[in-house]
Amino acid sequence: MRIVLLGPPGAGKGTQAVRLAERYEVPHVSTGDILRFVVAWKTEIGLLAKSYMDEGELVPDDLVLELLRIRLAQDDARVGFVLDGFPRTLPQAEALDKILAEIGHAIDVALDLRVPTELIVLRLSARASCPTCGRTYNLLASPPKEDMICNRDGSPLFQRDDDRPEVITQRLGVFQRQTFPLVKYYEDRGLLRPVDGQGSEDEVLERMTDAIDAVPGKVR
């Protein structure tokens, strides 16, 4: 199963991607997580990526594509993946189709998580993430059992630098300009499935799995 998750920052892509990956036994591939990992190395490439991320801008396509290509070439991604935060531009979507076509595969479904802007801002300002397993928590609606500690692996949670209000506004603008056109890209290919991203994590997950399970010809 090769799944793309679309939707604005704060729509719940990260949270749901982790759960979908468990359910369909495929890796969760988040370009945001990969980039944060690269940034932590403090190399020239890491510092370059950080300069875009801190401003809420997209990291250049060629750098992100190179990192994605390396990740998808790993053994665990052969059976499929849940892509979270990629593609974010039309050239990225086209490049992804090309990378997959080279190995005789294609995207099965693009789930478009839809959430009103007011809710996005609330969610992002209350978000904390686990650096180890990638799980995210809403500190108001679904906090971890122990303050700022991941329920799953006990790692201390962190709040992202780019979840500050001024950067959130910038990221939403970037989404509208650069990522929103992907909805049409996948719609034109018959792969788009809109999903209401409001409600509990379980409710949203169920809507997503219903949409995936309705994809014709897929073994689950």
Give the residue numbers marked as catalytic: 13, 88, 127, 160, 171
Q: Minimum distance between the CB of residue 144 and ligand AMP, rounded to whole angstroms?
A: 19
Q: Does residue 53 touch ligand AMP according to CB under 6 A?
A: yes
Q: Does residue 67 touch ligand AMP according to CB under 6 A?
A: no
Per CB under 6 A, the segment of 31-39, 108-116, 130-138, 188-196 that binds ligand AMP is 31-39
Residues 68-87 that bind ligand AMP (CB under 6 A): 85-86
Q: Strand 2-6 vs strand 81-84: parallel, antiparallel, or unpaired?
A: parallel
CB 56 within 8 A of CB 168: yes
**How far is residue 78's CA from residue 26's CA, in Å, rounded to a whole number?**
9
* H or E element that contains 189: none
Residues 168-197 that bind ligand AMP (CB under 6 A): 171
Would you say 57 or 108 has its CB closer to ligand AMP? 57
Q: Does residue 9 touch ligand AMP according to CB under 6 A?
A: yes
CA 126 to chain centre: 18
* H or E element that contains 71: helix 61-72
# chain residues binding ligand AMP, by CB under 6 A: 17
Q: Minimum distance between the CB of residue 29 and ligand AMP, rounded to whole angstroms?
A: 11
CB 183 within 8 A of CB 192: yes
Residues 147-166 that bind ligand AMP (CB under 6 A): 162
Per CB under 6 A, the segment of 56-64, 98-106, 192-200, 207-215 that binds ligand AMP is 56-64
DSSP track, 107-166: --EEEEEE--HHHHHHHHHTEEE-TTT--EEETTTB--SSTTB-TTT-PBPB--GGGSHH
Would you say 58 or 212 has its CB closer to ligand AMP? 58
Nearest by Cα to 163 from 185, 132, 189, 136: 136
- Interface with ligand AMP by CB under 6 A: which residues? 9, 31-32, 35, 52-53, 56-59, 64, 85-86, 88, 92, 162, 171
